[in-house]
Structure 1
């Protein structure tokens, strides 16, 4: 087996594992703790730290779009983890993530239409 075939095989295996992990996340198979703290909170922490240090408009838009993507996928995943044993914490997590998504949408609109808002 050539080096190129080994690299291609490893790449295909990695892609399959990523797709399986994504499906587990969206189905709610990972559980509420892993979904909220491991997926949403840690990624949002990194994105917000990067947003704090960046000044370029394109970078801010990109990070804001990434934040929206993470928030929406986390909403779907958290909704799918709700059951009778974690109802309170699940709804609390849904409210927190929903508020974050709303703020991200408003920030995205504010950045995109910044020049028009300043003219008012």
Structure 2
């Protein structure tokens, strides 16, 4: 199993937007995050370019210019945060928190299954 990365808050916000809308340009991601962040466009671009270097995003060209796609699934992006929150905040086993996701619409049933499997395999 590939080692799952630690994500910064900024990286998570960018990934969350790409999970929500699919492949996108820096401009589109920046415009969607503008209300919740005080980033300049160049800040968003710098974050996304660094994420490409880390393997978190893939950049490719199409008719609209450079597009970026997430290289982590939503469960892969969440597993470290879920484990940290479960163990450090709730003092529960990480797998126990998966049931909270099952009751919400934040993840699909397939994503919940993947999150459960990742929590079981993640050797943190």
TM-score of the aligned structures, taking structure 2 as reference length: 0.27
RCO comparison, higher one (Cα < 8 Å, 6+): 1
Higher strand share: 2
Higher helix share: 1
TM-score of the aligned structures, taking structure 1 as reference length: 0.27
> Who wins on radius of gyration, i.e. which is larger?
1
